[in-house]
């Protein structure tokens, strides 16, 4: 295997890790601050992609489409928090799972009702399309580099938000002691709505960014949701840093596994069975990684609570 | 106790009635189980709409139809089939899109003496050892379009093709089918995850492999993702695939990235026969969109059933089976006949993606395989 291929695959792993981080960050914030398991997070991701596709079709502008995805997902997030989620904080996790699963169905069928059953068109704008040459003779799509850059910028922004702003202090306080910050006169209901909308906006943006290179269709959020849960379990629930490290680990494992495993089994199996055993094991690899990390660190890499 | 005895009377009547009714007027009750919600709904909706169009055009009041959504889940499909057979008392089942759902439903339905007409799924197991006199596939055997793609790749002079498909039975069948008539070398062979949405890793491997062409079978959203990312990657090799990633419902979402891609299909809207011209025009008039190959399969399935109903009574199972087997209907594909294992013998065409009046669609550029039957005929003991 050439170094160029390896370098390209590492970039691919980083890129998919960055997108996972955007989705997982909101999920882990909501779980950390409110103790809520939100299965409908993937629906907000889908909503962002659909909003972007609709606005791009209407205006032809990709930037407007991205803004629309953030706005639509944040608005939907805030609305859902006020109408449904708010009633679930005191319930146990099973009730939350049930209610947010219902939200998935409502969002999916609502989206189909509005946009139809066929996938929507959303493409990369001309100024971001095509490959660029990187040092070492690597040809890499410009758009994916931009995704990596956006992901990094948002990661830095989130760390700054959490560590240097009043909102961040409140979020951290909410994570460590919910009753106490209420007693100190912080409007918890509003804080929760803001955090939920923030998480939703990040998921919506990820949906729009990814939608341009994938398929904008009903049900696109659920596979991402599963990966995002793997990420926050690996990283430790409630930790943004954990979400970042976990997302990059999952992204790289998921990209490099299918590349190396069939070659590895090819050393002692015939090609056809090596390909199929390798492919099967590669699809399990992130779960094996998760299991391994949980054995070593039961609360995840950066988990606060044991 | 008296009440219980009385209550049993209507029940007896209900059991006896259908047989009487069938004897009188030859009513055929059809249960359609197809995917109408979730990610794969576009396919089921097209099959249903094509089927309904044919029924509506025939105006045959003896055909009663029950339609249910399987949500692409095998367990739900099985429940629906049980309910349709036991309480709706259907005579004929149809509609299933996905091979894994067909495998869950078809064997038990035909074992209970029902007819099953497949408008899409054609798993090899049901064409070979699992074939059944009451199971008819009106679409294709799963391998067919991939075989045609392999034949085309050879005739186009490709010698070093890179092939990929999802890691599930139909994906493995696809690669087997491609290799059946492909004479060149393979520069690489990949099984991807089912439902995978990012193909950057696979595209990088294609780039590094030194291939001269690419064959892929990635149905639905997987194909949209692959094609968009492939077009953006700067890899410039010709692509061949079966029609499933290039049908009318998907092409608009792929956009210009699919232009010029060669794909294989048993049907296209520009096939030159009267039945097809009428079908395409009436489908567009009825639903306001171009028909896909799935819609054409639904339409043919209904017309096959109607042709059998015209000459035989469903109460006489053997006569009805013979009438189905005769396939005496005007297929939108032109020539159509059933092989020994009740799968089609038909031409498989080569199509190319074009843009026509601002809509992405296909046109036929040649024939890949003429009068193709299927590879599992000898395994079927029927």
pLDDT at B19 over 50: no
* pLDDT, position B1: 40
Taking all residues of chain A, what is their mean pLDDT, rounded to a whole number? 89
- Structural domain boundaries of chain B? 2-140+272-338, 144-265+348-379
Residue-level pLDDT at B16:
42
Domain count, chain A: 1
Is residue B186 within 8 A of residue B211, CB to CB? The reply is no
Residue of B37, B46, B163, B200 for testing the chain A interface, max A β-carbons within 10 Å: B200
pLDDT score recorded for residue A1 = 63
Q: How far apart are the first and last CA of chain B?
A: 51
Domain membership of residue A249 (yes or no) is no
Question: For residue A136, is it within any domain?
Answer: yes
Q: Among the listed ranges B54-58, B62-66, B197-201, B359-363, which one has the minimum average pLDDT value?
A: B197-201
Q: Which residues of A touch B162 (CB under 8 A)?
A: none
A140 has which bridge partners?
A: A132
Nearest to A5 among B192, B205, B252 (CB): B205
Tokens of A223: 């596979």
Provide mean pLDDT across the span B349-355. Answer: 95
Least confident of A26-40, A145-159, B340-354: A26-40
Q: Is B190 on the interface with A (CB under 8 A)?
A: yes
Q: Does B157 touch chain A (CB under 8 A)?
A: no
pLDDT of A64 higher than 70:
yes
Q: Closest-CA residue in chain B for A108?
A: B38
Which of B121, B107, B50 has its CA nearest to residue B287? B50
pLDDT higher than 50, residue B23: no
Nearest to B253 among A120, A258, A275 (CB): A120
Q: Tokens for B321, please give them.
A: 């089976």
Select the residue of A9, A119, A130 nearest B224 (Cβ to Cβ): A119
pLDDT at B37: 79
B41 and chain A in contact, CB less than 8 A: yes
pLDDT above 80: residue B214: yes
Distance CA A83, CA A143 (A): 37
> Please, what is the angle between helix A41-59 and helix A62-83, to 10°?
140
Domain that holds residue A99: 3-218
Same fold, B2-140+272-338 and B144-265+348-379: yes
**From its phi and psi, is residue B76 left (phi > 0), alpha (psi between -120 and 50) or beta?**
alpha
Tell which A residues from 83 to 142 touch B, by Cβ distance under 8 Å. Answer: 108-109, 112, 117-121, 123-124, 129-131, 139, 141
Q: Are strands B262-265 and B239-242 parallel, antiparallel or unpaired?
A: parallel
CATH architecture assignment, domain B144-265+348-379? 3-Layer(aba) Sandwich (3.40)
What is this model's ipTM? 0.80
Q: How far is B271 from chain A (nearest CA, A)?
A: 24
- What's the burial of B319, exposed, middle or buried (CB within 10 Å: 0-12/13-18/19+)? middle
Which of A248-262, A266-280, B34-48, B51-65 has the largest mean confidence?
Answer: B51-65
Mean pLDDT of A200-213: 94
Report the percent of chain A where pLDDT is more than 70. 99
Q: Which of B173, B187, B181, B245 is nearest to B216 (CA)?
A: B245
Residue B75 makes CB contacts below 8 A (sequence gap 6+) with B104
Residue A39 lies in a domain: yes
- For B114-136, the DSSP string reads -EEEESS---HHHHTTT--TTEE
CATH number of B2-140+272-338: 3.40.50.2300
d(C-alpha A25, C-alpha B165), whole Å? 32
How far is it, in rounded angstroms, from Cα B147 to Cα A117?
Answer: 30
Residue B39 pLDDT grade (very low, low, confident, very high; cuts 50, 70, 90): low
pLDDT of residue B2: 42
When mean pLDDT is compared across A188-197, A287-296, B36-45, B219-228, the lowest value belongs to B36-45
pLDDT band of A304, cuts 50, 70, 90? low
Determine whether the interchain pair A119/B249 forms a contact, defined as Cβ–Cβ distance below 8 Å: yes
Chain B residues in contact with A282 (beta carbon < 8 A): 193
Give how far Cα A135 sits from Cα of A15, A132, A140, A141, A167, Å. 18, 10, 11, 14, 41
pLDDT of residue A305: 53
Say which of B39, B201, B234 has its CB closest to residue A219.
Answer: B39
Question: From CA A123, how far away is CA A117, in angstroms rounded?
Answer: 19
Q: Which residues in chain B are contacts of A123 at CB distance < 8 A? A: 228, 255, 257
The rounded mean pLDDT for chain B is: 89
B164 touching chain A per CB within 8 A: no
Residue A273 touches partner B, C-beta closer than 8 Å: no
Instruction: Tell which phi-psi region holds residue B185, choosing left (phi > 0), alpha (psi between -120 and 50) or beta.
Output: beta
Q: With the CA atoms of A211, A214, A217 and A221 taken in that order, what torsion angle do they form, in degrees rounded to the nearest 10?
A: -70
């Amino acid at each position: 295997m050439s170094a160029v291929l390896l370098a390209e695959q590492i970039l691919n792993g980083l890129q998919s890790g960055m997108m996972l981080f955007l989705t997982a960050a909101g999920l882990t914030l909501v779980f950390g601050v409110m103790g809520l398991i939100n299965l409908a997070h993937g629906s907000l991701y889908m909503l962002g992609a659909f909003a972007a596709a609709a606005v791009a079709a209407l205006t032809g502008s990709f930037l407007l489409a991205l803004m629309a995805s953030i706005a639509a997902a944040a608005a939907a997030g805030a609305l859902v928090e006020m109408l449904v989620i708010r009633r679930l904080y005191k319930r146990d996790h099973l009730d939350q799972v049930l209610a947010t699963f219902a939200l998935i169905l409502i969002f999916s069928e609502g989206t189909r009702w509005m946009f139809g059953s066929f996938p929507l068109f959303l493409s990369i704008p001309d100024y971001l399309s095509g490959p660029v040459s990187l040092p070492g003779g690597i040809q890499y799509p410009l758009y994916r580099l931009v995704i990596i850059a956006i992901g990094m910028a948002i990661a830095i922004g989130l760390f700054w938000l959490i560590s240097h702003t009043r909102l961040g202090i409140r979020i951290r306080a909410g994570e460590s002691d919910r009753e106490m910050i209420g007693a100190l006169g912080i409007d918890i209901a509003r804080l929760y709505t803001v955090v939920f909308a923030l998480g939703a906006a990040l998921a919506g943006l990820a949906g729009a960014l990814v939608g341009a290179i994938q398929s904008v269709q009903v049900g696109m959020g659920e596979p991402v949701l599963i990966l995002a849960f793997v990420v926050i379990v690996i990283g430790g629930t409630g930790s943004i840093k954990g979400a970042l490290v976990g997302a990059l680990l999952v992204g790289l494992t998921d990209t490099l596994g299918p590349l190396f495993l069939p070659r590895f089994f090819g050393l002692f199996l015939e090609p056809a069975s090596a390909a199929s055993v390798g492919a099967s094991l590669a699809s399990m690899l992130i779960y094996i990684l998760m299991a391994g990390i949980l054995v070593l660190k039961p609360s995840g890499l950066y988990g606060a609570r044991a | 106790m008296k009440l219980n005895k009385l209550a049993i009377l209507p029940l007896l009547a209900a059991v006896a009635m259908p047989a009487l009714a069938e004897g009188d007027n030859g009513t055929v009750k059809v249960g359609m189980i197809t995917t109408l919600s979730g990610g794969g709904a576009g396919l089921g909706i097209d099959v249903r709409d094509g089927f309904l169009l044919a029924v509506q055009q025939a105006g045959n009041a003896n055909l009663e139809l029950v339609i249910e959504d399987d949500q692409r889940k095998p367990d739900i499909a099985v429940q629906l089939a049980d309910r349709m057979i036991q309480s709706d008392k259907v005579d004929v089942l149809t509609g299933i899109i996905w091979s894994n759902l067909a495998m869950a439903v078809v064997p038990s339905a035909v074992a209970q003496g029902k007819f099953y007409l497949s408008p899409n799924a054609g798993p090899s197991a049901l064409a070979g050892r699992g074939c059944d006199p009451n199971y008819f596939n009106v679409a294709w055997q799963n391998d067919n379009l991939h075989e045609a793609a392999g034949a085309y790749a050879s005739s186009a002079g490709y010698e070093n093709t890179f092939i990929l498909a999802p890691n599930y039975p139909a994906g493995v069948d696809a690669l087997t089918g491609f290799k059946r008539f492909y004479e060149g070398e393979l520069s690489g062979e990949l099984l991807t995850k089912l439902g995978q949405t990012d193909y950057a890793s696979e595209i990088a491997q294609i780039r590094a492999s030194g291939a001269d062409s690419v064959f892929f079978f990635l149905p639905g959203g997987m194909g949209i993702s692959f094609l968009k990312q492939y077009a953006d990657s700067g890899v410039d090799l010709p692509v061949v695939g079966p029609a499933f990633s290039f049908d009318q419902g998907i092409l608009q979402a792929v956009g210009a990235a699919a232009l010029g891609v060669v794909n294989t299909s048993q049907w296209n809207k520009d096939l030159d026969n009267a039945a097809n011209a009428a079908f395409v025009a009436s489908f567009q008039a009825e639903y306001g969109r171009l028909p896909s190959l799935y819609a054409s399969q639904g339409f043919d399935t209904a017309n096959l059933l109607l042709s059998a109903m015209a000459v035989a009574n469903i109460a006489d199972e053997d006569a009805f089976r013979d009438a189905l087997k005769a396939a005496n209907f005007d297929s939108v594909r032109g020539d159509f006949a059933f092989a020994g294992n009740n799968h089609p013998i038909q031409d498989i065409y080569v199509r190319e993606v074009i843009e026509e009046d601002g809509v992405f669609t296909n046109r036929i550029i040649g024939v890949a395989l003429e009068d193709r039957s299927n590879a599992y005929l000898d395994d079927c003991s029927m």
